[in-house]
Structure formats: C-alpha cells, structure tokens
C-alpha cells in the first residue's frame, strides 16, 4: 500500500454525481506506476457549492482538479485565466491551481491523440460530428486546428447552428441527412449519449459508407457501442471512446504531478475493468 507524506500532491475530479467516474482509477494507476507521493480523489460537489469548493481546494493546497458533468461551464466562469483550448471549447475540464486558477479543455486533445493511437489521421478529410454539446464543441475545435473541415449534425438544428456559428467555417447538416452524407466525409464522430449504457442506441446506418471512413464514438460504457459494432461489421476503422478518456488525462496529470504519463495497454486493461 502506498503511503502519503505530509507534502503529498493532491488532485481530484469534481462532479455531481461522481461515483461513476473512472478517473480515480486512471490517475491512481499512474501514481502507483511512477511512485509519486500524491493522491487523486473523487469529489462529489453539488452545483450550488461548485465555485466555493474550487476556491477552497486551491487554498487547501490542491494542485488542481478535473471537472465533469454538470460543472464544465461553471468551471469556465470560475477561472482567473483560460487557456486557448478552453476559450475555443467554451468549457473547462481541467483546473490548474497556483497563484490563480487556470482552466484548460483537454477533451479535444484527448480525442485527437486517440485517433492517432488507432492509426487515424485527424486531417485525412472532412469530419461529420453527431451532437452539439460541450464534447462536440471541443472535438470540432480540435479537428479544425488539425486542418479538417467540420460538419455539425444534431437532432436540434438550433443547437447545431449555434455551434457552427461559434466555430466558423463549420457547416451544418440536417439530422435526417446524416447517412446520405457519409460518402463526403473521412471521419464520423458520435458525441451524443446515444448508445451509452441505459440510453437508446444511435440509429446510424453505415451500409453506404465508403471503405475509407473511420468511425469514432466517445462513449466508453459499453466499450463496444452499437455504432462501433456496426462499423466493425462493415470492416470500417473503429475508434472506441475509452482511449479519449485516457489521453485527455495526460496534460492534467503532468501539470499536477510533474510527470508526463504513458497511455498503454496495461492502463486500458485496468481502467476498463
């Protein structure tokens, strides 16, 4: 058992609820692997207490924290300084404490790193993104930064239009046109909750998809979503969502604990179990 000293570095994940989070297992694995005197804690915080808690954690000596649902926009507001990734995404998932509170968004970084880990070039061609929430925003911005054209397709056209307006020259596509548009894209990304355990499956026919299409799903529970199973059946490149979770954690861990950790098969196995 790893024992902490009085000078241990502390970080955690703030959410409401937070018991489902795999981040403590993820960061705990790295802390053990690198022999770091530190801990990463689950921090269940109700929305009305979020801002006060963040400031208290900084004053209590925490190095920082991850932020998950429903706090990412509140985290954006509480920061003293915002990195370009957070400004582009309009939300914060990583807080770094020092003399002030710095906010970053590593979701886009994690998504692109996971694509590359699966042999997919993020700039190979246009990307069709299903969904228009915070994750879609971060991923669309990251893909644009890599040089890919982006099209937003959402069940609510108003939200799709708002996201596209924030990230010009992103295009929008009607939800009922999503299958017909696959031939014009190199990458399909599901950022919705459809296909997640406890949610309806995503209705996304892939029979007409070109053989060159890569299909990514940011859902990681289950690891193989119906969309990814359909992609595999069509012999398309399929990119699961757990890798995004692992890769997005790298910048925060490095900032808090001073070590740039490695994402490898052992980490996948431990976090997936």
Q: What is the per-residue pLDDT across 64-76, written as a single tens digit (0 to 9) for each?
A: 999 998 898 899 9
Q: What is the pLDDT of residue 69?
A: 85
Q: Is the pLDDT at 1 greater than 80, yes or no?
A: no
Give the pLDDT mean for 42-51: 97
203 — alpha (psi -120 to 50), left (phi > 0) or beta? beta
Give the pLDDT mean for 30-43: 97
Q: What is the pLDDT of residue 134?
A: 85
Task: Assess whether the previous peptide bond of 123 is cis (omega < 30° from 0).
Answer: no
C-alpha torsion angle, residues 211, 213, 217, 220 (rounded to 10) = 40
How confident is residue 161, by pLDDT bands cut at 50, 70 and 90?
very high
Better-scored residue on pLDDT, 90 or 147: 147
- Count Cβ atoms below 10 Å from residue 123 Cβ, excluding itself: 15
Per residue in 143-154, pLDDT (tens digit) is 999 999 999 999
How, if at all, do strands 38-44 and 9-15 pair? parallel
Q: What is the pLDDT of residue 97?
A: 98
CA distances (Å), 146 to each of 143, 185, 246, in order?
5, 15, 20
Q: Is the pLDDT at 2 greater than 90, yes or no?
A: no
Give the pLDDT mean for 184-205: 93
Q: Is the pLDDT at 162 greater than 70, yes or no?
A: yes
Catalytic-residue membership of 72: yes
Give the pLDDT mean for 226-234: 96
193-199 long-range Cβ contacts below 8 angstroms, 24+ apart: 193/219, 195/219, 195/225, 195/226, 195/227, 196/221, 196/225, 197/221, 197/222
Give the span between the Cα atoms of 28 and 40, in whole angstroms.
Answer: 6
Give the span between the Cα atoms of 241 and 234, in whole angstroms.
Answer: 19
How confident is residue 180, by pLDDT bands cut at 50, 70 and 90?
very high
Share of the chain above pLDDT 90, in %: 90
Q: What is the pLDDT of residue 133?
A: 87
């Amino acid at each position: 058992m790893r024992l902490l000293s009085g000078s241990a570095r502390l970080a955690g994940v703030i959410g409401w609820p937070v018991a489902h989070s795999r981040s403590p297992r993820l960061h705990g694995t790295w802390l053990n692997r690198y022999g770091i005197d530190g801990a990463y804690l689950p921090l269940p915080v109700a929305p009305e207490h979020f801002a006060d808690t963040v400031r208290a954690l900084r004053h209590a000596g925490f190095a920082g924290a991850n932020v998950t649902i429903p706090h990412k926009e509140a985290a954006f507001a509480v920061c003293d300084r915002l990195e370009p990734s957070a400004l582009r995404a309009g939300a914060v998932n990583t807080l770094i404490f020092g003399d002030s509170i710095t906010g970053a968004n590593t979701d886009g970084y994690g998504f692109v790193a996971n694509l590359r880990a699966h042999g997919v070039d993020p700039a190979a061609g246009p990307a069709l993104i299903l969904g228009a929430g915070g994750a879609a925003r971060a991923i669309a911005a990251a893909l644009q930064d890599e040089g890919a054209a982006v099209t937003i397709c959402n069940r609510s056209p108003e939200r799709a239009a708002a996201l596209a307006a924030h990230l010009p020259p992103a295009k929008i596509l009607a939800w009922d046109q999503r299958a017909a548009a696959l031939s014009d894209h190199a990458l399909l990304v599901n950022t919705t909750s459809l296909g997640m355990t406890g949610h309806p499956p995503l209705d996304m026919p892939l029979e007409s998809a070109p053989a060159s299409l890569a299909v990514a799903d940011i859902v990681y529970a289950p690891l193989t979503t119906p969309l990814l199973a359909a992609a595999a059946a069509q012999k398309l490149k399929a990119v699961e969502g757990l890798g995004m979770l692992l890769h997005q954690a790298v910048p925060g861990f490095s900032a808090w604990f001073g070590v740039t950790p490695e994402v490898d098969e052992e980490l996948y196995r431990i976090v997936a179990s």
